[in-house]
Structure 1
Amino acid sequence: MAPLDEIKGPEAHALPDTATLPAELAALYLCMSPAQLADLRKSKRPEGRAGNGPSVIRPVEGGAAGSKDPVLYALGTLREFAKAHPAPSDFDTALTTGLPGWLSAKLPFFAEREPRIKRGKRVLIGGAWDRADPLREQRFVDLAKGRIRFASLTCSEAAASLWADVAGHTAFAERGLALLKSETQAIEASLLATARLAETDPQD
């Protein structure tokens, strides 16, 4: 099986099931943390306790106790797992938890390899968790080949960063602007309610 950084020719865009990803990128592909993926490598009994049952997701190389070989996962295995587990990821949840999630939850973003302007300003390409992105798998090829990188940022930090395209930046930033508008309206409504309360029940 060929690692992504060794794929050339037409397969570089087709991403065959036999291509492999290292554990860090495999976890990113599945929209989970490396620790969560490592836990899924462990053999489990049906009731969920550690034991001699089948692994939930098996690497094609590495992962054995004491082994120094890197852990690699077949892309076909990752695709099958993702298809069987379509529930929203922790990253998706962070996007729907309102302003607290927008300000505090770290999400992975694809970013250009080198900053375009002085002082190391990052330029984002898109959300690495966005499984609906038609270019997502191609970006994993670029990531494995070192053409791009990924950065963990809060949504607020990402919205305030530079992006490679205006449409992507606008679509993402509008989520935050809508949250801020809703929060502002709620505060303004509370201020108005307080003023009305003071008018009807003046203090001595």
Structure 2
Amino acid sequence: MTTDQPGLRERKKAATRAALSWAALRLAVERGLENVRVEDIAAAAGVSPRTYNNYFSSKAEAIVSRHQERVRQAAEALRARPAAEPLWEALTHAVLEPFGPVVEQPDPQWTAAVRLLLREPVLQAELWRGGAEAEAGLAASVAARTGTDAARDLYPKLVAAAAMAAVKTANDQYLNADPPVPFQPLLTAALHLLAAGLPDPSAR
């Protein structure tokens, strides 16, 4: 029983962090980043502002946290994939896993508002900072799987950077698609193109 308690606490902390991050994103999309207060985010997530401050130091960090967490989960999922599975097959499954099943067509008003929100310089800076940390974690998982060194070898860093580029490119396509399309098929297609070595479409 004692052994299970730390796991339960960690799950509760992760749930609170996710709720705060989602509340920050939703409110920023609805009102604009400058019109959202920490108190608003905390209230929407059902916690106190003090609890919010235990998790995040800024609104931008809270919003970007959802992206970082998905990449962290992908790094963990990659380590859990069967050892005999080819790298890119395992990586594709691992990167897709945190995004869940395919959802219905997105609301064009939502994607337009998110697109506008992501133009905020403070969010772009936080995405860069958080993305670099998340990418390093993914590179470590690639290195563990391939017997390479994440600090010294080019290969795991390049694979992780390519996977992160697939996520970013799929997200850009998702936010700008007209008519709107679900995100998961776009990410799947991007990862499959990388796995195939980015064949030249004009050569078909």
Larger Rg, first or second structure (1 or 2): 1
Settle same-fold status: TM greater than 0.5: no
TM-score by length of 2: 0.28
Higher strand share: 1
Scaled by the length of structure 1, the TM-score of the pair is 0.28
